[in-house]
Amino acid sequence: MNFKDESSYIEDNVFIHESSYIEDNVSIGEGTKIWHFCHLRKNAKIGKNVNLGKNVYIDRDVRIGDNCKIGNNVSIYKGVTIGDNVFIGPSVTFTNDLYPDVNVWSDDMIIETKVCDNVSIGANSTIICGVILNEDCLIGAGSVVTKDIKPNFLAYGNPAKQKLKNKLD
């Protein structure tokens, strides 16, 4: 495993594959597993019992709660907050800029996105910045989420539409 410096805080019982790269001031909770070719940027905070699949990118200042499973090839950019008990399927992408431009960039352009507790996001979904995925919602595979999703709702499609309650109340 490659560490930029010794300022990162890593709890006991953490597995980090030797091909992964951990930058400054990263906090990794107990029982977390970080697999091949992951990159955790400075000031990222990863909770307890989190599983980061192969080739996961966690941008600077990202917060991930406890007991999350993040599939292979997921990118989570600055401005995204992930709650507890969240499943993020393979190749899910989060955006953080509504109007990307190769010639113009600053952190002022970042628009925050919140994934609340107990959310599941299917493989190959794209979460456009500025949305809230509320508690216990389920996002179908391949969806493009452009609006907030209510608690306990299933949403899917492009753009994702809320279809029905996910669980019985």
Q: Residue 76 belongs to a domain with what CATH number?
A: 2.160.10.10
What CA–CA distance (Å, rounded) separates 138 from 58?
22
- CA distance between the termini of the chain: 45
Residues 96-149: pLDDT tens digits? 999 999 998 899 999 999 999 999 999 999 999 999 999 999 999 999 999 999
Domain count, the chain: 1
Range of the domain at 155: 2-165
From the list 83, 86, 96, 62, the residue with the least C-alpha distance to 138 is: 86
Predicted structure pTM score: 0.92
Based on its alpha-carbon atoms, the radius of gyration of the chain, rounded to whole angstroms, reads 16
